[in-house]
A = this chain, B = another copy of it.
Amino acid sequence: MGDERGGLLARRRRPTRSSGDAERDLAEIADEARAVCAESGLALASLRGVGVSVPGPLDPERGVLLDPPNLAGWREVPIRRLLEASLGLPVQVENDANAAALAEHRFGAGRGFRHLAYLTMSTGVGAGLVLDGKLYAGRQGMAGEVGHAPVEWDGEPCACGLRGCLEAYVGGAAWTRRLARTTPAGSRVAALAGSPERARPEHVVEAARAGDAFALAELARFNDYLARGLTALVFVLAPEVVILGTIPTAAGEQLCLAPVREQVKARLWPRLARELRILPSGLGEDRPYLAGICAALEAEGAGRP
Q: Which residues of A contact B (CB under 8 A)?
A: 57, 114-115, 127, 131-132, 134, 136-146, 148-150, 152-153, 160-162, 228, 231-233, 235-240, 267, 269, 271-272, 275-276
A-B contact pairs, 30 of them (CB 8 A): A114-B139, A115-B138, A127-B236, A131-B136, A131-B138, A132-B136, A136-B136, A138-B238, A138-B239, A139-B238, A139-B240, A139-B275, A139-B276, A140-B238, A140-B271, A142-B272, A143-B237, A144-B236, A145-B236, A146-B236, A148-B269, A149-B231, A149-B232, A150-B231, A150-B232, A160-B269, A161-B269, A162-B267, A232-B232, A233-B236
Main secondary structure of the interface of A (DSSP, over half): loop
A236 to B150, CA, bound (A): 11
Q: In the assembly, how many copies of this chain are there?
A: 2
B152 near A139: Cβ-Cβ < 8 Å: no
Q: Which residues of the other chain, B, contact A136 by a CB distance below 8 angstroms?
A: 131-132, 136
- With both beta carbons as reference points, the residue of chain B lying nearest to A144 in the complex is identified as B236
Specify which chain B residues have a CB less than 8 angstroms from the CB of A142 in the assembled complex. 238, 271-272
